Amino acid sequence: MFLALEEAPFVLQGPKPIIAPAAWESYWALGLIALGLVALGVVALRQFLRKGPPSLAPLAQLDVALRLAEAEPAPAAIAKATRALRVYLASTDARAAVSLSTEELVLVLAGLPVFLPARQPLLAALRSADAAKFAGASLEVSLLIAGIREAAKRIEDAQRTFARPVAAPLVPPKPRPAAPDVPPPLPGPPPLPRRDHA
């Protein structure tokens, strides 16, 4: 079976039909975008879970605690309201710690200018709550809560007043010379009059 020189050993079959590309070849860009979105979602979820929900401002926390205390019976309401007030004071200034007794707290607050406008309602609320808790005196819970709210309002107003920015002077102050290490000598006695000059 010898082939003649003119005969071809194989026959061309023509073009084959085009094979459809695989899905990953066609949609690789969409896959990368979806993978990026999933990674972004995981990072955002981790950040949210790590941070937790944003905490309320101290005044808002006090207001929520006072609303919850209003629904309690009188002894529990007085205890919760004073506890909320002490937590609010501690969050306003760290020197007014929750663990201080009422008299210690009064002494600490007397030296802080932010608490001076609220001194009267603050002292009245703390002392009347102490009298109700320890001496068994009768106290209307709504009056105590109103006094606490008034004190908190005055404290917030004082904080805004003391937090106002001070305007910078238009002309900067002159630099003062540094103080010498050795003080200048004291002036001596006045000179004596001369005899021949009389």
pLDDT of residue 77: 92
pTM higher than the cut 0.75: no
The larger pLDDT score, comparing residue 40 to residue 96, is at: 40
Please report the pLDDT score of residue 9 as a whole number: 66
Asked if pLDDT for residue 187 goes beyond 70, the answer is: yes
Distance separating alpha carbons of residues 11 and 43, to the nearest angstrom: 61
* CA-angle at 145, arms to 140 and 147, nearest 5°: 95
Comparing 55 with 33, the larger pLDDT belongs to 33
Rounded CA gap, 184 and 197, in Å?
32
Average pLDDT, the chain: 83
* Res 5: pLDDT: 58
**Residue 83 confidence (pLDDT):** 93
The Cβ-side half-sphere exposure at 168, using a 13 Å CA radius, reads: 3
Q: What is the pLDDT of residues 151-166, one digit of tens each?
A: 999 999 988 887 766 6
Q: Can you read off the two tokens belonging to residue 35? A: 């993978």
- CB atoms near residue 151 (< 10 Å): 25
Cβ neighbors of 152 (< 8 A, separation 6 or more) are 59, 62, 85, 88, 118
